[in-house]
Amino acid sequence: MATPLTEVTSVTAPNPPVTLTIAGSEATGGAGAQADLRTFQSLGTFGMVALTCIVSFDPQAGWGHRFVPVEAGVIADQLEAQFDCYDVAAVKIGMLGTPLTIETVATALSELGPRLPPHIVLDPVLICKGQEPGAALDTDTALKARILPLATFVTPNHFEAMALSGLAQITTEHDLADAARRIHDACGAVVLAKGGVRLEGPDAIDVFYDGSTLEVLRAAKVGEVAVSGAGCTLAAAVTAELAKGSTPLDAARTAKEFVTRGIKARMTSRAPFDAVRQL
């Protein structure tokens, strides 16, 4: 016999921490909001997404990006519903994509007052694989001016670390550490700068810097080609761990282990790149 509804609703377990990603959909599910939600779920938080844009790779054109922004008012509506519904423990900000979206998100977060979550993790998606560096300078500038100051934790990749630190080249672990320091000094956020497969050597290196502790996180490289969704997954894992009460350094360590496991278990497909699989 089916359990009466009253019995189900009367047994209320305590809520897990609530996490939110403000991010785009990548239709094949490897990156963006889909990767974030799987990561939130795997790490034991309740995930929500405020969708900012829809990316559909174009198999007829080298798997480049077809990009459609979500209307600004609809982004604001999602955030209103989410923050009215829950106390959000930590937010991840992924692809925003246009200056108008950046302005909409910055305004919504700035107006939250005491409901502003204590952890705002920014994955500063400046370009995606397949896009030309500097293709969207107005978006990059708006992100630095309006979103970076709100971030408590930032996870730039190799290219973004150059853009945010002003360093012309990052080729060594020492350069990456220098970039992490400069970015922290400029914005005050905890920095996890990702070398990934882009620095030479056997290890994928990320540098953590919070203003006093500098730690190099290492994992043996799994191949020499970047895997789709690795950056999204790393930042989402940091967000989930912070939401559960970890220190920033422990969150970074756990996130690095989580993404390394996901890269080892990656999805292959008919696209010319693999995608992280969150275990």
The whole-angstrom separation of Cα 71 and Cα 75 is 7
Q: Does 96 bind ligand PXL (CB under 6 A)?
A: no
The closest alpha carbon to 180, from 163, 198, 192, 169, belongs to 192
Q: How far is it between the farthest Cα atoms of the chain?
A: 68
Closest approach of ligand PXL to the CB of residue 97, in Å: 8
Sequence length of the chain is 279
Q: Does 232 bind ligand PXL (CB under 6 A)?
A: yes
Q: Does 191 bind ligand PXL (CB under 6 A)?
A: no
Q: Which residue in the set 26, 175, 178, 274 belongs to the binding site for ligand PXL (CB under 6 A)?
A: 26
Q: What are the structure tokens assigned to 262, written together?
A: 């996901």
Q: Which residue in the set 79, 106, 126, 128 belongs to the binding site for ligand PXL (CB under 6 A)?
A: 128
Q: Which residue in the set 17, 231, 248, 262 belongs to the binding site for ligand PXL (CB under 6 A)?
A: 231
Q: What are the structure tokens assigned to 116, written together?
A: 């502003």
The whole-angstrom separation of Cα 92 and Cα 151 is 9
Applying CB under 6 A, the site for ligand PXL has a residue count of 13
Q: Does 32 bind ligand PXL (CB under 6 A)?
A: yes
Closest approach of ligand PXL to the CB of residue 145, in Å: 20
Q: Which residue in the set 37, 79, 95, 136 belongs to the binding site for ligand PXL (CB under 6 A)?
A: 95
Buried/exposed code over 140-149 (b: 16+ C-beta within 10 A; e: otherwise): bebbbebbbe
Residue 235, classified by CB atoms within 10 Å of its CB into exposed (0-12), middle (13-18) or buried (19+), is buried
Q: Does 236 bind ligand PXL (CB under 6 A)?
A: no
Q: Does 161 bind ligand PXL (CB under 6 A)?
A: no
Q: Does 94 bind ligand PXL (CB under 6 A)?
A: yes
Contacts with ligand PXL by CB under 6 A lie at 23-26, 31-32, 55, 94-95, 125, 128, 231-232
